[in-house]
Every structure is written in C-alpha cells, then in structure tokens.
Structure 1
Amino acid sequence: MSRLKRWLNMYKKKVNQNGDFKEEYIQELRSDSFDEDYIAEYALKFKKEYEQLKHLDQTDPEPWPIYTAYDFFTPSEKQQFSPDGSLRAEYVESTLRSGISEGWLEEMERRKKLEVDNYNKVSARYAEQGINFGEQEMNRIRASSITYVERRKQMEVDLLNCEPADSLPFDKDTPF
C-alpha cells in the first residue's frame, strides 16, 4: 500500500500512528538507562523518517497493481466461472446436458466462491499491513514458472559466482 503504512507496521511497538514514540517505549528506554537527550534525539530521527515517508507517499506513491482472485484462475476455470466464483450459465447448461449432476455443479460453485472469498479476505488483511498480496502471489507464480533450461543456465552463472551450494536449484554435481 504505502511506504508509510509498512514503516508504521514495522515499528508498531515503538511509534504511534503520528510517528511519535509511544509512552511505553519511552519508559522502556528510560528503564534501560538511556538519558533524555538520547531518547529525544532518537525520537526525532524516527519522526523525520516518518515525515519523509509521508511526503513520499503523497508526492510519489508506489504503484499498487490490483489483482483479483479471477487473475489466478486457470484458463479452463475462466471458461467455467465468473470473477465472483459463480458458474457461468453456458457452462452449467452444457454440463447438465452431458450428464453432470446439478448437486455437483452447486458444490463446484460453493468451493470456488469460498476460494474467491478467502483470497479477498487475505488480500484485505495484507493490504492493512501495507503488503500487496496479489502482487506477491503473481510474482511467486511467475518465479515458479521458470523453465528447467532457465534454471540450469542460472545455476551455471551461480556456480561461476561461487554461490553457496544450498542456494542452488540443483545439486552442483548435476551433469549438464
């Protein structure tokens, strides 16, 4: 969502929504024997960072691509289901003619609607924390779709760069 929201979430134990230190955190610093000048300077540093991020969010907001659950449907699911998870009328008609039971179609629709609802809930919860869940999922899918050949080529580069063996996609003794 925004840089500021992520920053506030990261430091939620230290600062309030205005970027000021919470009284509990100030007391914790005092109990750890930090002097008042240090605490004030430290608080000022946080407040400046808060103001910078707030300004950045207002003047140069980060892109926030919107992905819906429908973006993650397979091509065949897109033929079967509407974006809300309900079955398309033409699909229902054709499958009923082919002998599929109405009960099974209702169950398919119930499951897909649940899937869409869960995606929306998780996406909203992540957005509250300043995380774009849809974008993360899309990046994960793109990364996992890298082909074997691409991974093998990358591993050759990684080996030349002396990357640690546990970070390689295959055993380093794998013949190419």
Structure 2
Amino acid sequence: MTKIIRFLLTIGLLTAFVYGVFFVYKNFIEPPDLDNLPKVTELHPEVAEKKDLLVKRAAEQGITILITSDFRSIEEQNKLYEKGRSLPGNIVTYARGGESLHNFGLAIDFAILIKEGTASWDMNRDGNGNGKADWMEVVSIAKELGFEWGGDWNGFKDYAHLEINFGYSLWELQKGQLPSGLK
C-alpha cells in the first residue's frame, strides 16, 4: 500500500510540476506574437499632455526643445533598427518593432534646438547661461512630470528618450495589457 501511495504522490507532483512549467512558459517566457500586437496609432493622451508641458516649462527656463520622435509604428521602428545593420548609418536602437515603448504611444525623444533648424544632443551645453547643462535641466523637468529617462537605464543608455509606462512592463504591453486612454 505504501508503494502505491508513493507512486500516486510522485505522479501527482510530476503532473503539477509539468503544468506549472507550462503556465510559467505561456505567461512569462513565451515570446509575444509581434505580428499581432495591439494596434496603437498615437501618443497616449496623458503622455502628449506632459510632452507639451515639458516643452513649455523648458521654454520658461530659456531652453527650446524639439521633440524628435513620439509615437512610432512597428514599421518605423523596424527601419530604425536596421540603421547600422542592413541600412547605412550608425546603430540608433536595439529595439525592433514591438519592443519599444514608442510603439505603444508611451515614449518621446527630444533634442535641444539651438537655432532654427539646428538640433543639438550636446548634454553639456549651457545655452541659457545659468551654469547648468540645458540637457539635464530638461531631464529634471521631465522627471518632475513623471517621465522616466533613458539615461538612468542600466546597460544601454538612451539619453534622448523619455517614457511613462503607467506601471506596465513591455511584456504586458506586448500581450495586450494597455493603459486606458490609448488609441
């Protein structure tokens, strides 16, 4: 009798383990189907509002910023990804289409406009003459508005990148869990 109970317990534990592995794979490991991502078509309204506030508050500090990118389609993201790989130029992103918060309307990129038609990514420039780098003044304003800065990331730093993820991971967004308000 003891051998039968041990055998049944072993079978039960193995079954539970197999189902547990399957659950973890399906819910946490399985790569998302990037061909069937949620169809987002524009910047999230709250991100758009905070983007406009960022431009306004920076201008109040004597800094003119240019938003160089906001919502980006999967196709646009894939073209950027190919720069420095199959297309000429330097590598500008490590995110393929569907792997960037730009694709979900939750991110913007910026540059400092130093004169009409001339953008700068110089992080040390003090164009308003107050003894502080304009770039970091913009980053500070952005953080006050709730943006996260790509310059704070571990590993690859994206100094022009700002995002608001509303507490969602990229994986959750890829699986269709989107913050309310997205179109």
TM-score by length of 1: 0.31
Asked which structure has the greater CA Rg, the reply is 1
TM-score by length of 2: 0.31
Higher relative strand content: 2
